[in-house]
Each structure stands twice: as structure tokens, then as C-alpha cells.
Amino acid sequence: MAYFLQEAPGCFFRIGSRNPERGLIYGHHHPRFDIDDEGALPVGVAAVASVAMRYLNGE
């Protein structure tokens, strides 16, 4: 990401996706990784949509 940001403005953020209650405990590069789509995806979509809306509104 650092190399991309040297060429164009941008940002990087992480959204937690672990959920030990559902057995989702592995890191992103582990072969058994799975995302908590019920918990993490709505947060990620809301964050990206909010950033896009603020950008489009000139904020």
C-alpha cells in the first residue's frame, strides 16, 4: 500500500473480521481464513460508502 500511496493520494484501513464464537479465528493469509460476513461486511460497506460520499461532497 505504501508504494501506491507514493503515486496517488489514498488511505488504508482495516476492519476486524474475527469471531471466535463462530470459529473465525485465523488471520487473513491463513488457508483457513474466513470472514465474518454477518458482522464485518456491513461495517466495511458502511465505511467505504461514507468515505465515498464525503469525497463526492467535497469534504
Give tens-digit pLDDT for 11-45: 888 888 888 999 999 988 999 999 887 888 888 89
Q: Is the confidence at residue 8, as pLDDT, over 90?
A: yes
Give the alpha-carbon dihedral of 45, 47, 52, 58, to 10 degrees: 160
**44 phi/psi in degrees, rounded to 5:** -65, -45
Distance (Å, whole) CA 8 – CA 58? 18
Which DSSP category does 8 fall into?
S
CA angle 24, 27, 28 (to 5 degrees): 105
If one counts the domains in the chain, the total is: 1
Reported as a pLDDT band with limits 50, 70 and 90, residue 57 is very high
Looking up cell 461495517 gives 43
Residue 18's pLDDT is what? 87
Could you list the residue range(s) of the whole structural domain that residue 33 is in? 2-56
Residue 10's pLDDT is what? 87
- The whole-model pTM stands at 0.64
